[in-house]
Structure 1
Amino acid sequence: MKGNNKSTKYELVESLAPSSKIPKADSMDGTIGDIFNKEVQRWRTGAAITWAVLTTPVLLTVYVILADISISHPSQWISDCLSTLFSAYFMLIGAVTVLLIGLWCSFSLPTFIVEPEVHTNPLQLAVSMCSPQKLVFGTVCLLLSGVTSLLCTGILQGRYQDLTVCTNSEFCVLNEHHLFLVIYGCYTGVVFYLFHFLKQNNYLQFTSLQQSKYFQVRSGILAVLQTSLHCVLWQTVYFYPLYWLLGHIPTEWIVHSLGLRRSTLTVDSVYGLLDLALLWQSILCGLLVHISWSFSSLLIKVYITERYCFPVESMLDDRKNQCLIDALQCDQNSLVKYLGYLDLSLLSKHSPERRKTVFSLSQPGGHPHNWTKLSTSCMSAIMALSERIQDTNWQVFSQASVRAAADDTKKPPVTQHGSTLTYRGDNVKKETAAPQPAQNGSSFWKSKPIVSYFLTEFPDAKSRKLFASAQLDIWAVEALCNLVAASYTEDNYGVVQKTLPQILTSVIKLQENVEKHLKLVSSGRRAGGWGCLDLPLKYVLHSSLKSCIYRIINVFGVHLLNLNLPSDTSYKLKLFMDFKE
């Protein structure tokens, strides 16, 4: 490709993609995080919400068709559907539903995160679920789903439409079928709120395989349908027993408050809950809420995680704080930092022209500023993670050594007299300090089953928390190794050779620490049990480190042994060359 003026396929896609354009603004003051939010993030979230709103009428149409289904009378079924779909009342309900979807998307945007939340024990998880921000979002889900179910009862009409049914001029009877669907809708919102966080549906996963947004959405629709159906069936199984036990509470309250009467056939009875038509309408109502919100969430994820091409360098003073190195160091906005490392990783693989800018020298002066800044940022992230893993490995190893030593040095039976321990078989006595009242109190509460459950640490929680931000390090390792491999033919000034020993040392050291950690920590147990989407991160990091080291070896071969490397790094590198790793 050297000397060829034609752009590669990836560069052509980058030049045509709207996200690859530098924001055009009259004033480019502020940090890169502020500028990204103002010029890019608003457009992306606005586009996602717009598409979510536009698909709502389609979902409502499917809901009407399934709600009025009648296999035995197909002509009547088609007639009822058409009359409902072209009625002014349905148009009004559709407009309100569109507004509800837009509100949900707006309130859900702050809940999406780029790093997974890892909780140490059930108590920490419960406290996190009760944070003000999450409680506000949960309340919004409850209210919006309740209003959506209320709109569904208006579409269904018949016995589901009104809260009361007047039998004569003297009194009105509570329509429990209507109340059942509304309560079920509110319950659906609460379940969705719980699943949104417990199953980490708010976790933004970036993909290195670059596809158009259309293909990403299309490939995710089937997963949305399957997950929504599973959640609705799961929540319905638990809702019916709950309503049978507690359904009389809201029913009696409404009856006494509005001065109504209850029907002889109540829904909270065994016979009333066996109504298959009511079950069908409940499932459809739950599916409408889950699918519409889950699909909106899918659109938001696809648009937010879309690749953004940052300029490697800028000759304009008003845009110097918008370069790729600024994105890598943007601690103010985690999303910008992740998109920066993703862009650097893809740059190192598919963009020869942009790699030339990385390997170029500054004029005047002839200094490799671009390479120095980018490589320093990546190596800092790699070494920081390596040190954290090494410290954790020492803690795990020391704890295991203490337990092993305690098991190996068992003494003969011990007789306890007050505060003195006397070992039989010798005359050695050991005085123990009197237990403190606080220690007695904590031990007492920890012995209780319920308290013990909330304080018991999740398996592998510390390891998951350690690798929560490993995606950045995966991209950093891939970017460095790909750039090093490409420098063999593209680095005309030899800017990479000076830092090659440091890069090899940091990458191999991280690989050793990760491999030791995987051996020390049991990986067969699942952590937390709820949607641990971040579990593969440490394994992806481990495999990426190995493949990147082999990629450098395949390019440079035995010449790497001539570098000034530490003895342990040279030994490890020799093992890789001999394919013993």
Structure 2
Amino acid sequence: MSLIVECKKLCLRRCMLALSYSIAMQYLLLGFFLFFVNFHVLHPLNWISGTISVLFSFYTWFSILPLIGSVVLYTILLGKSFLAVKRYYPTRFQWFIYTAPRKALFFTLHLLVGYLTAWLYTSFLHVDYRNIVCECFGTKCINSRYLFLICVGFFAACLHFTRENLHTDPELEFPIIQELMLIRIRSLIYRTLYNSLLKSFTPTICFALAYWLIGGIINRYFAVVFALDVDETALSFISIAVNLRLLFYGWILAAQILSNMHLMHCFFAIHLSEEVAFIIERKPVLCGTGIEEITLVDALNSSFVPVVQNLGARDLYNLSSNKMDARRKEIFALSVPGAHPYNWNQLSSQCLSLINAFTDELAASLKKISVVKTAPLFSTIKPTTATEAAEKILLRQYNETYGIRRMMTETSQENTETVKKMSPACKRIHDQVEKIKKQIEQTLRAAFRTIPGLYYMFGEPEGAKTAYLLSNSETILWIVQGLASVCTASLTEDKYGVVQVTLPQVIKSLLTLKTELDKLNNVNLNGKKMDRNFIALKNGVKRSLYNICTVFSDYLREIVDNPEDLRKLQCYVHYVET
């Protein structure tokens, strides 16, 4: 229980940092917006001083509180989505049932953030864009310009939800090169603010055209609610297209909302993916402190917190590739007292358990793919020797001479005996029932696939489980490469030979995984001939086998007992494996 608490504490601290950055970003984005809308080229000093005074006024700090509250709610749901354990949904109907509540809550919070952002930003604009009621022809009318900006807030929130959250869930992406946190955040802010201005221009123009078509309906509805009139002249195409200030405000507002939502997502991804150097061996816990550190084995075993497991796999890969890391000596060290290789035994057993479990799941999923079942890439039949071939020829000649037919299997003999015991009438009925049963099964199967939408919603696509496993194979890739690199480093760093005992199991697991991955060479998964994750995993396993065979090439006959495995390893030794 304490391990679960420690893992969740690690993630909670990072989520709180991401939340703090998200809240601070609201003030920064508001400052950028004020600098844009209050721009005055003739009075630059008044423009800068006035913007700063408005930004740090009590009214601004009080008005931004509702937006911060909605950001807190959104980040809580976002953090839970990042920390949630991934599930496989065989059918689209199951995916819809299980993810619909979370998607609906995400959509609601998107609309809330979009509305509150538009409401806050419009309060700092010109008086013609600030209120929902305006003066027109001596009477009170609905302010169509204000409604335009409010609808831009809803539109930008829906646009981000459709792009980022509708079909996919939040996922962590570990950078190839780990940079400092502040450098990553600074480059992220610069890149996001620049790209959001470009990506929001065309959607804003499209929304303006849509508002020209349906804006009258929206204005009339609110006019009825507030008992006001509608200014029809403000809803014409010319009035919207000529009002450059309105389009400019809408463009900047859409860019701010898109950048805000994207930055909140990236802050969580950056903080949760920050690498951690886990300890190898747990130190004695001080009495009364209640503090328990997370070891590398504990991190790899924390499948209930996938983020920590990913960090553990990443740390194992970094530990094995960094020659200056002193923690490898702790892996190869013996316990005191007792002189047992506890650290290596625990680490290797945990890694092999994860690799073998993934291989078993992959093998089970491959059995459901028709291409793999009907056209296996590798033949499992052993080559026939000359003696066996001669014996088969003599046996066939003997059977043909004396009229002996080939023996049937036990199952076919039992079925034949059962049919022979039946009377002719029962046999005809039995054959007719079996024929009708097969026809019904074929008809139902064909109808299930041909009825529009039925198989799409309730059928499991072929290869979907395999594609799911490969899409989440990054952790296995790091574990495979990290474990293989530790094994290769043991030849010069392992003074006690603790790795040599487990090395045959490591080689066997990697060969088994490589064999299963080779079956996917000619399989088209989800319309993609070669998937990026599949290529990365296959190349990682191949690279690991090459490293092991290169280092232990002179000792493979003593390490591996199976002749078939030894033959496969010789291909890696001579660099002829493809």
TM tier, shorter chain? 0.7 to 0.9
Q: Which amino acid in the other structure matches residue 112 of structure 1?
A: F
Instruction: Indicate the residue corresponding to 1:447 in structure 2.
Output: 451
> Which residue identity lines up with residue 137 of structure 1 in the other structure?
F
Instruction: Report the counterpart of residue 429 of structure 2 in structure 1.
Output: none
User: Which residue is 1:194 aligned to?
Assistant: 162
The equivalent of 2:362 in structure 1 is 389
Q: Which residue of 1 aligns with 2:561?
A: 565
Judged with a 3 Å threshold, the aligned counterparts in structure 2 of structure 1 residues 458 and 164 are, in CA distance, closer, same or farther, namely farther
- Aligned position for 1:341: 313
Q: Please say if 1:63 is aligned against 2:65.
A: no
Which residue of structure 2 lines up, in the alignment, with residue 525 of structure 1?
527
Question: How far apart, in 1, do the equivalents of 2:15 and 2:507 lie?
Answer: 40
Aligned partners of 2:347 and 2:369: how far apart in 1? 34
Aligned twin of 2:327 = 354
Cα distance in 1 for residues equivalent to 2:36 and 2:99: 35
The residue number in structure 2 matching 1:47 is: 17
**Residue 441 and residue 253 in structure 1: after superposition, are their counterparts in 2 closer, same or farther (change >3 A)?**
farther
Question: What does residue 325 of structure 1 align with?
Answer: 297
Displacement after TM superposition at 1:123 (Å): 4.9
SS of the residue 2:219 aligns to: helix
Contact 1:68 1:77 in 2 (8 A): no
Change (3 A) 1:251 1:387: same
CA contact (8 A) 2:110 2:161 kept: yes
1:35 aligned onto 2:2: no
Most deviating of 92-101 and 210-219: 92-101
Instruction: Give the alignment partner of residue 228 of structure 2, picking from 260, 273, 279.
Output: 260
Contact kept in structure 2, 1:101 and 1:293, CA below 8 Å: no
The answer (yes or no) to whether the contact 2:299–2:312 under 8 Å persists in 1 is: yes
Match of 2:465 in 1: 462
Larger Rg: 2
| Selected match of 1:137 from 80, 98, 106 | 106
In structure 2, distance between residues paired with 1:266 and 1:439: 61
Are the counterparts in 2 of residues 163 and 175 from structure 1 also a CA contact under 8 Å? yes
The residue type paired with residue 553 of structure 2 is: G
Letter in 2 for 1:447: I
Structure 1 segment 242-391 matched on structure 2, within 5 A: 242-267=210-235, 269-274=236-241, 275-317=243-285, 322-350=294-322, 352-391=325-364
User: CA 1:245 to 1:436, structure 2 compared with 1: closer, same or farther past 3 Å?
Assistant: farther
2:83, 2:305 within 8 Å by CA — same for their partners in 1?
no
Pairwise mapping of residues 430-509 of structure 1 onto structure 2 (< 5 A)?
A: 431-433=435-437, 443=447, 446-448=450-452, 461-509=464-512
Query: Could you tell me how far apart the structure 2 residues matched to 1:535 and 1:556 are?
Result: 32
**Alpha-carbon deviation of 1:125?**
5.3
**Residue 553 of structure 1: CA displacement?**
2.5
Q: Is the 8 A contact 2:317 2:479 kept in 1?
A: yes
User: Structure 1 457/429 Cα, relative in aligned 2: closer, same or farther at 3 Å?
Assistant: closer
For the pair 1:155 / 2:124, whether they are aligned, the reply is yes
What is the alpha-carbon distance in structure 1 between the residues aligned to residue 173 and residue 548 of structure 2?
Answer: 28
User: How far has the Cα of 1:227 moved from its partner?
Assistant: 5.3
1:75 paired to 2:38: no
Q: Is the 8 A contact 2:233 2:239 kept in 1?
A: yes
In 1, Cα distance between the equivalents of 2:451 and 2:297?
53
| Overall identity of the aligned pairs, in % | 23
2:53 — aligned with what?
86
Hey, what's the Cα distance between the residues in 2 that align with 1:375 and 1:34? 25
Alignment of 1:75-114 (within 5 A): 75=42, 79-80=46-47, 82-87=49-54, 88=57, 89-90=59-60, 92-93=62-63, 97-98=67-68, 100-113=70-83
Quick one: structure 1 residues 106 and 564, their matched pair in 2 at CA, closer, same or farther if it must change by over 3 Å? closer
Alpha-carbon distance in structure 1 between the residues aligned to 2:367 and 2:99:
32
Q: Cα gap change, 1:402/1:246 in structure 2, threshold over 3 Å: closer, same or farther?
A: farther
1:309: Cα distance to partner? 2.4
Show the 5 A alignment for 1:186-225: 186-198=154-166, 200=168, 202-207=170-175, 209-221=177-189, 223-225=191-193
Between the aligned partners of 1:249 and 1:146, the Cα distance in structure 2 is 19
The counterpart of 2:549, out of the listed 522, 528, 553, is 553
- 1:155 is paired with a residue whose SS is coil
Give the distance between the partners of 2:571 and 2:441, measured in 1 at CA. Answer: 56
Amino acid at match of 1:327: A
Looking at structure 2, the residues matched to 352 and 253 of structure 1 have their Cα atoms a distance apart, in angstroms, of 68
Query: What SS does the corresponding residue of 1:247 show, helix, strand or coil?
Result: helix
**Contact 2:3/2:294 (CA < 8 Å) preserved in 1?**
yes
The residue type equivalent to 1:522 in the other structure is N
Deviations 1:289-340 (A, max 9, x none): 1112212222221111112222211241566773222222123222222222
- Cα distance, 1:379 vs structure 2: 0.7
Contact 1:481 1:552 in 2 (8 A): yes
Unmatched runs of 5 consecutive residues or more in structure 1: 1-29, 404-427, 528-533
Q: 1:472 to 1:236 in 2, by over 3 A?
A: same
Deviation at 1:219, TM superposition (A): 4.0
Distance, in Å, in 2 between the alignment partners of 1:542 and 1:309 is 27
**What letter is aligned with 1:495?**
V
> Counterpart amino acid of 2:304?
Q
